[in-house]
Amino acid sequence: MKNIRSKLYKYGNYSIKNDFSNSENKYIKELNKYGYSLVKKIFKPSECEIAKKKIDKIYKLQIKEFGGEKNLRFIDDNDVVRALFCYDKFFIKFFKNTKIGNLLHKCFEGKYLLNLQNAPINRGYSAHFGSAWHRDLPFQTFVSSKPIAMNVIICLDDFTKLNGATFVFPKSHKLDYLPKKINPKKTKQLIAKKGDVIFLDAMLYHRAGENHTSQDRKLVVNMFSLPFVKQQLNYSKMLNKKLLNDKTLSKLIGEDMNVEESVYNWRLRRRKRYIKKPNYFKKRNG
Ligand SMILES: O=C(O)CCC(=O)C(=O)O
Ligand SMILES: [Fe+2]
């Protein structure tokens, strides 16, 4: 019989590279076990102050864009400022940060994308849409053995008991259902300082606290995901094209990952990869 064989034994790297529970990195170990981890002092308080002012400005613009705040309220989207970096490149630093990137690289063991960047505003003496228990991959009732998406929260204000610091339900990223009632003793409020960064496995049940102070509590939420998760918006279309010359940025927003409009275009993209790397799949698999 003729010897007919596939060129490759496999495509895709299916070896188990990482045992997260034995990681030497304390943040990765915590993330795997509890579903969250706090990294202190990544951003300067002065950067946080600038960001807060800019968030107010962008929010005003987005209110105008949508014909008034009442229209945002109608869709439960008031006090959320979306796609910040597409409005002001200052916000790129909050997701293109090396310390954050190094941890994400370990979490995802390979390529990942920015899924969304927004800023919920936890107003003084108020609760918020995010004050209800949720996952950041909302509506999903499965669990996965490795992270699919990671939420990276930049605290622009101190997160305190009084101003509504985020509540988490530790270890719930490994639980596929949300109990009818969570015993408050099993939850934890994440107290943090301005400039600290909270990593949350996007499958972890969590919620914003209630703000019992007169001051707003602000944060930037960056959600990163494996490339197969649909991004919230088409950032390469929204962004100023000049910014896409930054290769790290264009990789992070998945400029070459957009859904193609035809089979022909899809094949052209694949061809480009083969031209760049002959034997593309073989090389990727090592
Ligand atoms: O405001 C917070 O502390 C959390 C916000 C949140 O969970 C979200 O925006 O998805
Ligand atoms: Fe959330």
Task: Please give the residue that has the higher pLDDT: either 99 or 285.
Answer: 99
Residues 159 and 279 occupy one common structural domain:
no
Partnered with residue 207 across adjacent β-strands are 167
CB of residue 79 inside a 6 A radius of ligand 1: no
Give the pLDDT confidence of 65-100 residue by residue, as tens digits.
999 999 999 999 999 999 999 999 999 999 999 999
Q: Would you call 182 helix, strand, or coil by DSSP?
A: coil
Residue 62 tokens read as: 């987005």
Residues 85 and 161 occupy one common structural domain:
yes
Evaluate whether residue 269 is within a structural domain. Answer: yes
Residues 198 and 239 occupy one common structural domain:
yes
Q: Would you call 120 helix, strand, or coil by DSSP?
A: strand
Domain count, the chain: 2
- Containing 115, the helix (H) or strand (E) segment is strand 113-122
Mean pLDDT of 57-67: 98
Checking if the pLDDT of 261 tops 60, the result is: yes
CA dihedral for 19, 25, 28, 32, sign (positive or negative):
positive
Question: Which residue range forms the structural domain that includes residue 53?
Answer: 20-255
What's the pTM value of the predicted model, to 2 decimals? 0.93
CB of residue 163 inside a 6 A radius of ligand 1: no
Mean pLDDT of 182-189: 95
Residues 190 and 273 occupy one common structural domain:
no
Checking if the pLDDT of 285 tops 60, the result is: no
Evaluate whether residue 2 is within a structural domain. Answer: no
Task: Please give the residue that has the higher pLDDT: either 24 or 216.
Answer: 216
* Structure confidence at residue 17 (pLDDT): 64
Checking if the pLDDT of 282 tops 70, the result is: no
Residues 49 and 170 occupy one common structural domain:
yes
Q: Which residues contact 181 (CB under 8 A, 6 or more apart)?
A: none
Residues 271 and 188 occupy one common structural domain:
no
Evaluate whether residue 228 is within a structural domain. Answer: yes
Residues 280 and 149 occupy one common structural domain:
no
* Burial of 84 from C-beta contacts in 10 A (0-12 / 13-18 / 19+): buried
Amino acid at 59: Y
* Least confident segment among 70-84, 118-132, 267-281: 267-281
Evaluate whether residue 196 is within a structural domain. Answer: yes
How far apart are the C-alpha atoms of 68 and 60, rounded to whole Å?
9
* Least confident segment among 18-32, 165-179, 253-267: 18-32
**Percent of the chain with pLDDT strictly greater than 90:** 78
Residues 138 and 268 occupy one common structural domain:
no
* Burial of 153 from C-beta contacts in 10 A (0-12 / 13-18 / 19+): buried
* Structure confidence at residue 283 (pLDDT): 61
Task: Return mean pLDDT, the chain.
Answer: 93
CA dihedral for 272, 274, 277, 283, sign (positive or negative):
positive
* Structure confidence at residue 171 (pLDDT): 97
CATH of the domain at 125: 2.60.120.620
* Structure confidence at residue 23 (pLDDT): 80
* Structure confidence at residue 286 (pLDDT): 47
Count of Cβ atoms closer than 10 Å to residue 108 Cβ: 19
Evaluate whether residue 4 is within a structural domain. Answer: no
Partnered with residue 38 across adjacent β-strands are 198
Give the pLDDT confidence of 14-48 residue by residue, as tens digits.
776 667 877 889 999 999 999 999 999 999 999 99
Which residue from 121, 151, 206 has its CB within 8 A of the most atoms of ligand 1, so it is best to mutate? 206
Which of 86, 87, 77, 134 has its CA nearest to residue 114? 86
Which residue from 187, 221, 232 has its CB within 8 A of the most atoms of ligand 1, so it is best to mutate? 221
Residue 38 tokens read as: 């706090």
Ligand 1 centroid to residue 257 C-alpha, Å: 27
Q: Would you call 82 helix, strand, or coil by DSSP?
A: strand
* Structure confidence at residue 129 (pLDDT): 83
CA 151 to ligand 1: nearest atom:
10
**242 band by pLDDT with thresholds 50, 70 and 90:** confident
Residues 156 and 285 occupy one common structural domain:
no
CB of residue 208 inside a 6 A radius of ligand 1: yes
Mean pLDDT of 216-239: 96
Residues 217 and 286 occupy one common structural domain:
no
What ligand has the least distance to the C-alpha of 198? 1
Residues 205 and 269 occupy one common structural domain:
no
Residues 243 and 130 occupy one common structural domain:
yes
**Percent of the chain with pLDDT strictly greater than 70:** 97
Evaluate whether residue 274 is within a structural domain. Answer: yes
CB of residue 223 inside a 6 A radius of ligand 1: no
Report how many helices (DSSP H) and strands (DSSP E) the chain contains, helices first: 9, 9
Checking if the pLDDT of 57 tops 60, the result is: yes
